[in-house]
Amino acid sequence: MRQIVLDTETTGLSAENGDRIIEIGCVELVARKLTGNNKHFYLNPERNSHEDALKVHGISNEFLKDKPKFAAVADELLDYLQGAEIIIHNAPFDVSFLNRELQLIGREPLVHCVAKVTDSLMMAKEMFPGKRNSLNALCDRLEVDNSGRTLHGALLDAELLADVYINLTRGQNSLMMDVGGGAVQTSETEPLIDLRMFELPVLSASAQELDAHEKVLVTLDKASRGKTIWRLEIAEIEKCS
């Protein structure tokens, strides 16, 4: 499935109170790789940005005056997003603005166009409970270079979020690695390697590693206010013993 990492900049914080989208940035991933097939729009919101919003994105009202309105780019945007998984940091915010823009031109909400919406902020909160999970914080934590991000910009932020998302979801795709310098073939005509032929060593955790692990469990327990499953199970076992 195609994945589109999407970000918006807006005139303010509330679509319900009349704020509008001024910029949309989209980055395409296929098989977890950047394709270069990106989309970027500046839009005339037909209203001025709030002063606080200007400090965040730095896009002047004057600059946007000759830019197209959302209605003029809607078909191109929806065709691009069609059937894809959309990845957004703090998805409810951006989706609410996109849905409002679509409503204003008589179109259906975004969910009718895309396969699914994934909120990378929720993913990050589950992986790093109790920590800051802004885009800048995640870039620092996951060693994604964000040195060029002095102001928020939809396309730049989408590109950074694509790197962050790949790092958040990075894992071992397969145990079928190169053996003896040759790539493992997985076609029907070539047999897969039987991993039972390898004796895998068992590495026990050191005392320092066990201590670090326990500290992480304590942090998770605090973040969930004592409702982590393993703590509850241990308490139940101790009660019965």
* Three-state SS at 170: coil
Measured over the CA atoms of residue 4, residue 10, residue 15 and residue 19, the dihedral's sign is negative
- Exactly one of 50, 112, 152, 213 is catalytic; which is it? 152
CA distances from 143 to 87, 164, 226 (A): 20, 9, 31
213 in active site: no
State the greatest distance between any 2 C-alpha atoms of the chain, in Å, as a whole number.
Answer: 74
Question: For tokens 């065709």, what's the residue?
Answer: 79
In whole angstroms, what is the distance from residue 35 CA to residue 33 CA?
6
- Bridge-based pairing of strands 3-10 and 85-88 is parallel
- Region of residue 99 (left: phi > 0; alpha: psi -120 to 50; beta: else): alpha
- Bridge-based pairing of strands 33-34 and 116-119 is unpaired
Question: Which amino acid belongs to residue 93?
Answer: F
Catalytic (active-site) positions: 152
